[in-house]
Structure 1
């Protein structure tokens, strides 16, 4: 069977939360709040781009992008995250397919770039790099990665949407 990458549908919310919870359950740097972040982003209408990976009618992965604020006033920059793939489907190209589709959609909607917090070994393959001029408070610099979609570069302090502070199921921040 082939994996399909498609926009999130209103009926996907519970499946996305389950996949996200399973994906981050044993992640060493997770506080297991990623599913609450997605819920809070959706509630605040801040999910700018949201795709699911589906196999035989079952959601097996998800990627989310939301606007970020940068202290230099740069506009149309987005934060990636969370991205999740059900553990039984990891290392099969699902994450790569979600990344490629999500980044293509950001370019399509006119984004200037994307910022994320993650493992450089994974994200550099998509063109992300560490830019010491972009700082995210309380995050080690080597994990703050960015990708510009043209000649627009951002400098300064990055702030993800307040939904990234969500700690529980009813937390909207």
Structure 2
């Protein structure tokens, strides 16, 4: 398996992998593939990586800038992270996240935030922080990973593409 940058030829495969990955997810609105497309169309995918195995895309992760009401800069939203269902629990998601987080660190990003399962994302160092709030999201699933000592304080806004619907 390799992790590489998305290319235009990957778009349909990314949509299929993302839709399949979230098909049975209990908290999904079934719009994750639309979010990726909307982020891409808006030029808001700061980093978009695919995992490829035997010439097929089996996973994807996107990173996009977000805003914090205190004016903090250099923060990115993660998501969605998708792995084809028949390839899950094989380290593909971990490889995508590790590569993406590493690239953002090297580029001087301040950190990342996401909505997700703490049991999974704490492995990467994500944690809850009472100083940041994402309206409408329970604080126990809104997670922060600072790349330095500073963590912003305030309301977080992900790109409007995260509101994409069918």
> TM tier, shorter chain?
over 0.9
CA RMSD of aligned residues (A): 0.6
Alignment of structure 1 residues 2-151 onto 2, 5 Å: 3-151=1-149
Stretches of structure 2 that go unaligned for 5 or more consecutive residues are none
Q: Which runs of 5+ in 1 are unaligned?
A: 169-173
**How far off is 1:14 after superposition?**
0.3
2:157 aligned partner: 159
Q: TM-score, normalised by structure 1?
A: 0.95
Query: How many residues in Structure 1 have an aligned counterpart in Structure 2?
Result: 166
Instruction: Give how far 1:162 is off.
Output: 0.1
- Is the partner of 1:61 in helix, strand or coil? strand
Query: CA–CA distance in 1 between the matches of 2:89 and 2:18?
Result: 16
Q: What stretches of structure 1 move > 4 A for 4+ residues in a row?
A: none
Q: Please report how far the alpha carbon of residue 111 of structure 1 lies from its aligned counterpart in structure 2 after TM superposition.
A: 0.5
Distance 1:155 1:116 in 2: 15
